[in-house]
Amino acid sequence: MTTAPGVKACVGCDVSFTASVTGSCLCVDWSGGGTPDSNEGMCSFTTHWGSPGTKTVTATPQCAGEKDREVTVVQVDLDMSGI
């Protein structure tokens, strides 16, 4: 399992993730997003959250025998710059 450095985002802002795939496994399943909350079979995933806090996004390879996961922790901050 690899853990990417923390990413900061604002509430409602899109955050994009890309999995580093190697070998014959080209597809991953994503979980832990806000809206949308998951995605299947894609190397990249874009999501956003409607509330602040620490979120964890996980990419899991679809291929049999592949056990590595990529985990990214996202700190979603409340953006009050427009108030």
Does 34 reside within a domain? yes
Contact 18, 44 (CB under 8 A): yes
Confidence tier at 6 by pLDDT (50, 70, 90): low
* Overall number of domains in the chain: 1
Domain residue limits at 37: 2-77
Region class of 50: left (phi > 0), else alpha (psi between -120 and 50), else beta = alpha
Does 83 reside within a domain? no
Does 82 reside within a domain? no
**pLDDT tens digits for range 9-64:** 888 888 888 877 666 666 788 898 899 999 888 788 899 989 888 888 888 887 76
Q: Residue 36 sits in a domain of what CATH number?
A: 2.60.40.10
* pLDDT number for residue 37: 92
Does 53 reside within a domain? yes
For residue 2, pLDDT over 60 is answered with: no
Burial track 33-64 (b if 16+ CB lie within 10 A, e otherwise): bbeeeebeebeebebbbeeeeebebbbbbeee
Contact 69, 54 (CB under 8 A): no
Confidence tier at 68 by pLDDT (50, 70, 90): low
Residue located via tokens 């299947």: 40
